[in-house]
Every structure is written in C-alpha cells, then in structure tokens.
Chains A and B, each alone.
Chain A
Amino acid sequence: MLNVDSIKNGIVIDHIRAKRGLEIYEALKLEELDCSVAVITNARSKKMGRKDIIKIDQSIDLDLDILGYIDPNITINIIKNDKRVDKYHVELPKEIVNLKKCKNPRCITSIEQELDQVFILTDEKNKVYRCKYCETKLPRK
C-alpha cells in the first residue's frame, strides 16, 4: 500500500466513498490552504472494499454540511500531537446553501443573481434535495 506520512496536528477525513475524494477536495476549497493536503484514492478498506481518504496537515474549520451532502458516511478524525483526540460522523444536512446551482432554466435563481442557491432535503431516505424556489430535484452523481 502507498505510504503517506501521518500528520501531527490536523484532520483526517476517512471512509469517503471511492473516487469522491477529489470532489470533497474541490468543494472544501482545500487547494487554497498553505499546508500539506493528501488525497488518497482507491485505498483498500475492510468495511468498504475501496475508499478515499483526505489528510490535512492543519486544524481548520470544516463545512460539515458540504461533507454531509457529498457523502454522509464519512468519518472525521481530529489529530493532535500524533494522536486521534476526536472522531465524529457527519449527517445529511437539512439544507445546503451555495454549493450547487439550480439547473432549471425557468427557476428565478437563473435571473436574480443575488439570491442564495438553497436546496432543501425533502426525502431523507432517498437523499433527495430540491431547490427552495422551484422545487427542481438536485441531481446526484
């Protein structure tokens, strides 16, 4: 297995569904950080078969809504002085704001640029989000 240095103080985002690591990297704008960030894709996992992992060599505030929307099964590990001091799971957020744009050309957000792009969780079981304004379903990858 590929070796990536462990981190002393920072965050490990684990159990990301395989091949979604880069999507999270982009959504969290991790390219804007000055510290080391490792995105490991297709790592072997007993639980998942294959998974992605992101290691961030710095403590930062994570947008849990974004993480929960992209993949509600991930776990977040907080590392301090080489030790995991906290571990938690994310949940599907009730709403997501300005992460995705409504694709419905008839939606009011297509002409009024100052409006937030808001999607509301309308079906938790099937993870369906709908535009707050026009109720168009947000497609999931």
Chain B
Amino acid sequence: MRNLIDIKDLSKTEIEELIKVAKDIMQRPEKYSEKCKHKKLATLFFEPSTRTRLSFEAAMIELGGNVIGFSSASSSSTSKGESVSDTIRTVGCYSDIIAMRHPKEGAPLVASNKSTVPIINAGDGGHNHPTQTLTDLLTISCEKKRLDNLTIGLCGDLKFGRTVHSLINAMERYKNIKFVLISPEELKTPEYVKIKMEEGGIKYIETNDIEKYIDELDILYMTRVQRERFFNEEDYLRLKDYYILNKDKLEKAKDDLCIMHPLPRVNEISTEVDDDPRACYFKQVAYGKYIRMALILKMLDIK
C-alpha cells in the first residue's frame, strides 16, 4: 500500500508517469469516467480549504467514485478529543483512500502509520503539500513542454512558503534549472534550502528586485505573504504588499513567460494581469484536478 506524505515519496519516473496519465485524462476523460466506480474517497479536512478539498472531490467524482468526509475539525470527533490515529482507523473502515489536511505538521505521517487504506497528504501546516507540487509540475510540463532547462523566479514569501520549498525539492531532479529567488530581506529562502540547492548543483540568484531579472524568466511563481505565519501584525502589514505584480512590471518579461500562483492570492497579483495570456494560475487550478485524478488511480493501483 502506498501513501503520499512528501513529494520525495515519489521517484522521478513515478512523477513522469503521473504527468503522462494526467495528460491522457485531459485528452480522453471518458476513458476514465468509471475507473473508480464503487470506490470511496474520504476527504478529512481538519482545517478549511477551498481548492484542495474541492479538487480532490471533483477528481474522485470524475473517476466515477464517491466522496465522504468533513471540512473542518469542529464537525468531526476531533472536537471531542479524538486522536488522529483513531480517526484514521475509523475512517479506513468506510473508505478506500483518504486525502487529509491537518494544521499540525506531521499529522499525515502519523495517520499513515495506522491507516489500513492509502493516505494522501493534502497539506500539513507549513510543512508539506505534495499534491500542490504535482500540480505545479503538471502546469510547467503542459505550459512549457519541458521540466528541464528552465529559469524559475520564485517571488514573495520564500521563508515560510511550503510550496516553493517543495517545488525547489522536486526541480532538483531536472537538468539545467536556475532559480531567481525574489523576496524581501525578512522573507528570504532559509539557509538549509540554499545548501541543498548548492549540493544538488542548482544555480540560484537572490534579489529583492522583481524587475531586475524578469526578462530572463521562463516561469514566475508568485506566493502570498501568509498572515498566519507572523507573530507580529506590524511585520505582516509591512511585508504583505511588498510585491504586486502588474502590467508595468511585466513589460520586459518574455512573451512565453508562465505566471503561476498556488492561490489564494491577496494583493500580490493585480487583477489586471488575469487577462494576460501569460497568466496561468487559474489553469493551474484545473491541472490540479487532473493530477489528483492520476494520483488517486495510482494509489488505488487502478490501471
């Protein structure tokens, strides 16, 4: 039985297989519409989410399966003090696969140690969010037609942003990747992430100026400054609007730049950019459903 707790649980070949299946689903959805008939996905969301939960649920429904679950801890027995392990053992009796989000880091790993059905980590605090990374990889693969030879700008909160750390981790496996790390001083990429990049032979540049290297980028990955990561409201307010991507800033960017964002956005991408053909963040949401469909099939070992 397989679990997906960390993107590193999947080999490069497995990721490539998932991307291939996801692309096939996009082209021939009818072929997959009954693959999960009589199967149940449990979405256990101990904290709120819009995209991830609905994406998992839509994915299972489009595979012909059914969905059960809850969307906040208050509507589960957790509010009565039940442990993660007990909840998982219970839900395993009703479902074939579980997608789980939890505010505590490491909760999906604990769950996977006790579960009788596959567990997919749908986000644990500021730690891992592997299906977002798979979504990002599918987006890059579809939009750029490759996963190597790319200059990727990561912009915003590079200190707490789990999605950017996971993406860096995943891209380490591909050739000729260069990162431009764009952030204010207080939200710079942690040292351990940079050391890993150096060890993996990945080139990177750090800057606080989004326009300085924008003409070199193949991908610009924007992130939100997350209020919940700050203990001090003043710091949050000072940094939240540090970068606002607008048409002016994109003036020198390549015509085939791919602008990504894991969403939700607050102010960091001006809505005037939404109609720009280079804006890919809503397509990214759509890709998220297809890669989750491919992942559910893989975890359930359905060909």
Residues of B contacting A137 with CB < 8 Å? Answer: 192
User: A111-141: contact bitstring with B at CB < 8 Å (1 yes, 0 no)?
Assistant: 1101100000000000000011111110000
Q: From residue 77 to 123 of chain B, which have CB atoms closer than 8 A to chain A?
A: 83-85, 102-107, 109-110
User: A94-122: contact bitstring with B at CB < 8 Å (1 yes, 0 no)?
Assistant: 00000000001011111110110000000
Give the distance to chain B from A118, nearest Cβ to Cβ, in Å: 10
Residues of B contacting A108 with CB < 8 Å? Answer: 84, 102, 104-107, 109-110, 124
Q: How far is the CA of A112 from the CA of B124 in the complex (A)?
A: 15
Give the distance to chain A from B195, nearest Cβ to Cβ, in Å: 9
Residues of A contacting B107 with CB < 8 Å? Answer: 108, 133
Q: How far is the CA of A104 from the CA of B160 in the complex (A)?
A: 14
Chain A residue nearest to B109 (CB atoms) is: A133
Residues of B contacting A106 with CB < 8 Å? Answer: 103-105, 125-127
Looking at chain A's contact residues, the main secondary structure is loop
Chain B residue nearest to A130 (CB atoms) is: B192
Give the distance to chain A from B126, nearest Cβ to Cβ, in Å: 7
Q: From residue 141 to 172 of chain B, which have CB atoms closer than 8 A to chain A?
A: none
Chain B residue nearest to A102 (CB atoms) is: B106
Residues of A contacting B124 with CB < 8 Å? Answer: 108
CB <8 Å contact, B85 and A134:
no
User: B220-234: contact bitstring with A at CB < 8 Å (1 yes, 0 no)?
Assistant: 000000000000000
CB <8 Å contact, B85 and A112:
yes
Q: How far is the CA of A108 from the CA of B46 in the complex (A)?
A: 13
Q: From residue 44 to 97 of chain B, which have CB atoms closer than 8 A to chain A?
A: 83-85
Q: How far is the CA of A104 from the CA of B192 in the complex (A)?
A: 17
Q: How far is the CA of A136 from the CA of B102 in the complex (A)?
A: 17
Residues of B contacting A115 with CB < 8 Å? Answer: 110
User: B13-36: contact bitstring with A at CB < 8 Å (1 yes, 0 no)?
Assistant: 000000000000000000000000
Q: How far is the CA of A118 from the CA of B130 in the complex (A)?
A: 23
Q: How far is the CA of A137 from the CA of B193 in the complex (A)?
A: 13
Give the distance to chain A from B251, nearest Cβ to Cβ, in Å: 40
CB <8 Å contact, B106 and A131:
yes
Give the distance to chain A from B245, nearest Cβ to Cβ, in Å: 29
Give the distance to chain B from A106, nearest Cβ to Cβ, in Å: 5
Q: How far is the CA of A115 from the CA of B84 in the complex (A)?
A: 11
Q: How far is the CA of A110 from the CA of B84 in the complex (A)?
A: 13
Q: How far is the CA of A109 from the CA of B110 in the complex (A)?
A: 10
CB <8 Å contact, A107 and B83:
no
Chain A residue nearest to B125 (CB atoms) is: A106
Q: How far is the CA of A108 from the CA of B83 in the complex (A)?
A: 10
CB <8 Å contact, A133 and B110:
yes
Give the distance to chain B from A85, nearest Cβ to Cβ, in Å: 42
Give the distance to chain A from B227, nearest Cβ to Cβ, in Å: 15
User: Which residues of A line the B interface, CB within 8 A?
Assistant: 104, 106-112, 114-115, 131-137
Provide 13 A-B residue pairs closer than 8 Å at the C-beta atoms, listed in order of the A residue: A106-B103, A106-B105, A107-B104, A108-B84, A108-B124, A109-B106, A112-B83, A115-B110, A131-B106, A133-B106, A133-B109, A134-B106, A135-B127
User: Which residues of B line the A interface, CB within 8 A?
Assistant: 83-85, 102-107, 109-110, 124-127, 192
Q: A133-B107, A134-B106 are in contact. List 5 more A-B contacts (CB 8 A).
A: A106-B126, A107-B105, A108-B104, A108-B106, A115-B110
